[in-house]
């Protein structure tokens, strides 16, 4: 192992350089220190944090971390021959991308939780790691502390996975939980999430599904072995969900969740999307409350699996980074590394072709013949109605439809024709329904 590992009293030492010391870096360094003896007892390896790159040394107090380890020279860590392994926690595309490439090129395994980067340049980085013959591990990039990437890469590598549905954004799950359980409006639940620090001042990335979309792209890449990037993911957010939708969901035995869905149909085509959906109360995802995350995996042989836990937060994310760090250290010591394999080019299936059951909330004028007219539009596009509920609203009426499975294109055509009807005042939420057929 050359200068990489050396005997210093106990087992071989693995010298770790950490890029970034914020929300995740600080608890990671604490964990490595508090768990060091236990890790050495289990694995025979001693993890030693050798240098930590930060933007501003003055900001870091000695109580949290030994300030002598701190440097502002991140490139110095990447190029230091005395550092065996790099943890990238700076986030974003640049300069994280270049630093990961440099580390891999220098033969240093990299552990990262950078979902934005992986969802944009995953295939390129996996190839670089494979070329260098070292690990690039990223459990923390999807669903924080929940082991999902490793099970997909290893336990389920022989499984034909048909679909993955994840609640992978804690902010939106918190908002939807408050709307469901406390009857809060979307605006109030969002404000509450912001007060608690779950949502940012500009909540767009969370509530419009971009954060979940990046995770969906990574999940799809690993589950199906094909390169899917964030731009391939169709997004619908939760900002249009109303109390009416929440109430109808409850009444009909559903709960509304924002789902990241990666699906591989029998023809080998992949569809990756983020949207709110009606989830039946007896489905395991329905019980995932507040800011918790869960990933539901369906495989041909294994059936249904679900992985549940904390999808964010410094300490759970640091735990995921640490698991990867130990794995990479062990692999390096054995002269081995894990591989994602060559990602194929993804054949993306347009949403128009994808089938789902739907919930539609249609406001119409309350007069004779309207229901027949509306039902006729569904029939014209061969969209079969499973159930309908009507609710009076003074001069108007609200019609809530649940359809059988129908192609996206047929539902869009139905909506266009409904909007053209004089008797249709407004079309509210249109949500997919997770059911046994799907």
Q: Is 280 an interacting residue with respect to its own copies (CB under 8 A)?
A: no
Neighbours of 423 (CB within 10 A): 17
Among 165, 320, 360, 424, binds its own copies (CB under 8 A): 320
Instruction: Kindly give, in sequence order, each residue whose CB lies less than 8 Å from that of residue 262, ignoring residues fewer than 6 positions away.
Output: 163, 164, 216, 219, 220, 223, 224, 228, 270, 271, 272
Radius of gyration of the chain (CA): 25
The residue range among 80-88, 153-161, 404-412, 430-438 that interacts with its own copies, by the rule CB under 8 A, is 153-161
Q: Indicate which single residue of 334, 368, 369, 394 sits in contact with its own copies (rule: CB under 8 A).
A: 334
Residue 265 in the binding site for its own copies (CB under 8 A) = no
Restricting to residues 114-143, name those near its own copies by CB under 8 A. 139
Q: Nearer to its own copies by C-beta: 178 or 273?
A: 178
Is 341 a binding residue for its own copies by CB under 8 A? The answer is yes
What is 98-157 written as a DSSP string? Answer: HHHHHHHHTT--EEE--HHHHHHHHHHHHHHHHHHT--EE-GGGTTTTS--HHIIIIITT
Catalytic residue among 215, 250, 257, 334: 215
Query: Is 250 among the residues known to form the active site?
Result: no
**Residue 46 parent element (H or E):** strand 46-53
Please name the helix (run of DSSP H) or strand (run of DSSP E) that holds residue 221, with its range, or none: helix 210-224
Whole-number Å distance between alpha carbons of 149 and 320: 10
Site string for its own copies, 208-247 (x = CB under 8 A): -----------------x----------------------
Q: Which residues contact 406 (CB under 8 A, 6 or more apart)?
A: 355, 356, 357, 358, 381, 382, 383, 384
Q: Dihedral (C-alpha) 99, 101, 102, 107: value to the nearest 10 degrees?
A: 130
170 interacts with its own copies by CB under 8 A: no
Which one of the spans 69-77, 88-96, 293-301, 387-395 is the region binding its own copies (CB under 8 A)? Answer: 293-301
Instruction: Kindly state whether residue 376 participates in binding its own copies, applying the rule CB under 8 A.
Output: no
Q: Tell how strand 406-407 and strand 355-365 pair up.
A: antiparallel
267 binds its own copies (CB under 8 A): no
* Contact indicator for 93, 77 with CB cutoff of 8 Å: no
Applying CB under 8 A, does 91 fall inside the site for its own copies?
Answer: no
DSSP state at residue 348: B
> Is residue 146 at the binding interface for its own copies, with CB under 8 A as the rule?
yes
Question: Applying CB under 8 A, does 38 fall inside the site for its own copies?
Answer: yes
Stretch of 115-123, 163-171, 295-303, 417-425 contacting its own copies, by CB under 8 A:
295-303
Binding site for its own copies (CB under 8 A): 27, 31-32, 34-35, 38-39, 41-44, 139, 145-147, 150-151, 154-160, 225, 282, 284, 286-289, 292, 294, 299, 301-310, 313, 315-316, 318-320, 322-323, 325-327, 331, 334-336, 339, 341
- List residues with catalytic annotation: 215
């Amino acid at each position: 192992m050359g200068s990489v590992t050396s005997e210093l009293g106990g087992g071989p030492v693995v010298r770790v350089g950490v890029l970034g010391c914020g929300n995740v870096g600080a608890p990671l360094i604490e964990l490595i220190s508090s768990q060091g003896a236990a890790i050495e007892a289990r694995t025979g390896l001693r993890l030693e944090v050798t240098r930590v790159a930060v933007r501003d040394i003055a900001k870091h107090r000695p109580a949290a971390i030994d300030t002598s380890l701190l440097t502002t020279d991140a490139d110095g860590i990447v190029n230091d021959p005395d550092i065996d392994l790099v943890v990238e926690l700076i986030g974003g595309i640049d300069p994280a991308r270049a630093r990961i490439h440099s580390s891999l090129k220098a033969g240093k395994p990299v552990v990262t939780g950078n979902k934005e980067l992986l969802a944009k340049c995953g295939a390129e980085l996996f190839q670089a790691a494979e070329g260098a013959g070292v690990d690039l591990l990223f459990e923390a990039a999807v669903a924080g502390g929940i082991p999902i990437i490793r099970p997909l890469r290893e336990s389920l590598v022989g499984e034909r996975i048909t679909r993955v549905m994840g609640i992978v954004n804690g902010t939106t799950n918190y908002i939807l939980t408050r709307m469901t359980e406390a009857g809060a409006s979307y605006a109030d639940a969002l404000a509450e999430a912001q007060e608690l620090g779950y949502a940012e001042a500009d909540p767009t990335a969370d509530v419009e599904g971009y954060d979940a979309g990046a995770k969906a792209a990574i999940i799809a890449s690993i589950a199906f072995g094909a390169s899917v990037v964030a731009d391939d993911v169709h997004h619908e957010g939760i900002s249009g969900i109303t109390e009416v939708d929440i109430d109808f969901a409850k009444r009909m035995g559903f709960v509304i969740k924002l789902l990241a869905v990666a699906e591989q149909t029998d023809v080998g085509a992949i569809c990756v999307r983020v949207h709110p959906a009606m989830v039946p109360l007896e489905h395991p995802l329905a019980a995932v409350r507040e800011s918790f995350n869960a990933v539901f995996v369906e495989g041909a042989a294994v059936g249904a699996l679900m992985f549940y836990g904390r999808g964010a937060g410094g300490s759970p994310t640091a735990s995921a980074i640490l698991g990867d760090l130990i794995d990479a250290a062990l692999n390096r010591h054995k002269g081995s590394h894990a591989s994602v394999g060559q990602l194929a080019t993804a054949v993306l299936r347009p949403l128009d072709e994808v089938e789902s059951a739907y919930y539609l909330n249609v406001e119409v004028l309350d007069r004779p013949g309207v229901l027949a007219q509306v039902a006729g539009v569904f029939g014209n596009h061969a969209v079969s109605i499973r159930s309908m509920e009507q609710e009076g609203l003074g001069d108007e009426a609200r019609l809530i439809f649940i359809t059988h499975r129908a192609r996206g294109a047929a539902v869009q055509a139905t909506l266009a024709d409904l909007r053209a009807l004089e008797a249709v005042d407004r079309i509210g939420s249109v949500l997919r329904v997770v059911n046994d057929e799907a």
